[in-house]
């Protein structure tokens, strides 16, 4: 199915309520947790509509399963207990598959390869992580960037770590000088800063991350979604999403194109 037919047929019930399930999400077959504000994966456009790479992807997955879907806005750190408690059926928000996470949750096969990045004010003089001694950096709470900064605090000589629930508040603090840099997913920062010359992504921090949909441990739904992702990769649908949101075709060797096994706990 091409993108044109997706936009014509998919049903999207976007809900932005913290706390309990809204009427819309209760009525839907699948409730999906997402940290709305995570550009370009899930965010509100100028009209207030919830859009993004993962919004498009999960809406099409639900469509292929013959189900309706509602998105519930949940801070990133809250996605894990929400999935484990059964409050939501699955979660997205550029969630990295890790061995530690696989001990308590399940993932479908990945659909995006990523790394972390360091973003600073262009006029700051900071050219990379080697210049962070005595500096304070921002991260997203419980994210891979948070793990990286915490594990490397002494090595980098950091003065402190400030934690945020999403890119926007972190970038506002960076612009205001309350933090000296922001460590987060490189695709989101490249997308965000492409028309904002006051910011600069100065270093790719190689972590070998892969993103996927998260489920409660051993939930059969993970296998169903995994099969749909295989189909969508074969049809080139996910590659088209990559071109739509990042302006370039993905490499054939990446998980956006290549069919991979479901991740398993070590």
Q: What does the radius of gyration of the chain's CA atoms come to, in whole angstroms?
A: 18
3-class DSSP state for residue 31?
strand
- Reply yes or no: is the peptide bond before residue 40 cis, omega within 30 of 0: yes
The model carries a pTM of: 0.78
What angle (nearest 5°) sits at the alpha carbon of residue 265, between those of residues 264 and 266? 110
Percent of the chain with pLDDT strictly greater than 90: 81
| pLDDT on residue 110 | 98
| pLDDT on residue 172 | 97
- Reference 205, options 132, 154, 259, 254; nearest CA is 132
197 pLDDT exceeds 50? yes
4 pLDDT exceeds 60? no
- Reference 208, options 132, 128, 137, 112; nearest CA is 112
Q: Burial code of 77-101, b = ≥16 C-beta within 10 A, e = fewer? A: ebbbebbeeebbbbbbbbbbbeeeb
For residues 229 and 142, give the distance between their C-alpha atoms in angstroms, rounded to a whole number: 26
For residues 68 and 144, give the distance between their C-alpha atoms in angstroms, rounded to a whole number: 31
Q: DSSP character for 265?
A: -
- The average confidence (pLDDT) of the chain is 90
Distances (CA, A) of 238 to 23, 92, 110: 30, 15, 11
Question: Residue 246 — very low, low, confident or very high, per pLDDT cuts 50/70/90?
Answer: confident
- Reference 118, options 47, 44, 183; nearest CA is 183
Percent of the chain with pLDDT strictly greater than 70: 90
Q: For the segment 132-166, what is each residue's pLDDT rounded down to a tens digit?
A: 999 999 999 999 999 999 999 999 999 999 999 98
- Reference 94, options 117, 122, 67; nearest CA is 117
Q: For the segment 35-53, what is each residue's pLDDT rounded down to a tens digit?
A: 998 989 999 999 999 999 9
CA torsion angle 170 171 177 181 (round to 10): 80
| pLDDT on residue 121 | 98
22 pLDDT exceeds 70? no
- Is 53:211 a contact under the CB 8 Å cutoff? no
Question: Residue 25 — very low, low, confident or very high, per pLDDT cuts 50/70/90?
Answer: low
């Amino acid at each position: 199915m091409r993108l044109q037919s997706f936009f014509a047929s998919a049903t999207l019930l976007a809900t932005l309520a913290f706390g309990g399930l809204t009427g819309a999400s209760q009525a839907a077959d699948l409730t999906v947790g997402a940290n709305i504000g995570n550009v370009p994966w899930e965010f509100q456009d100028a009209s207030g509509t919830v859009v993004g790479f993962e919004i498009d992807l999960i809406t099409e997955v639900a469509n292929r399963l013959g189900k309706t879907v509602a998105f519930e806005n949940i801070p990133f750190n809250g996605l894990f207990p929400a999935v484990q408690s059964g409050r939501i059926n699955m979660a997205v928000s550029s969630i990295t598959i890790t061995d530690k996470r696989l001990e308590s949750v399940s993932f479908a096969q990945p659909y995006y390869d990523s790394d972390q990045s360091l973003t600073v004010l262009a006029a700051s003089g900071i050219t990379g992580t080697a210049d962070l001694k005595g500096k304070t950096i921002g991260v997203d709470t419980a994210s891979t960037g948070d793990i990286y900064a915490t594990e490397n605090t002494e090595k980098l000589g950091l003065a402190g770590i400030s934690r945020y629930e999403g890119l926007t508040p972190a970038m506002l603090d960076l612009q205001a000088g309350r933090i000296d840099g922001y460590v987060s997913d490189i695709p989101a920062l490249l997308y965000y800063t492409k028309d904002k010359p006051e910011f600069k992504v100065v270093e790719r921090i190689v972590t070998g991350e892969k993103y996927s949909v998260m489920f409660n441990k051993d939930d059969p739904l993970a296998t169903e979604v995994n099969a749909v992702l295989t189909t969508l990769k074969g049809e080139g649908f996910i590659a088209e999403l990559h071109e739509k949101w990042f302006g370039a075709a993905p490499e054939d060797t990446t998980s956006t194109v290549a069919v991979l096994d479901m991740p398993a706990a070590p």
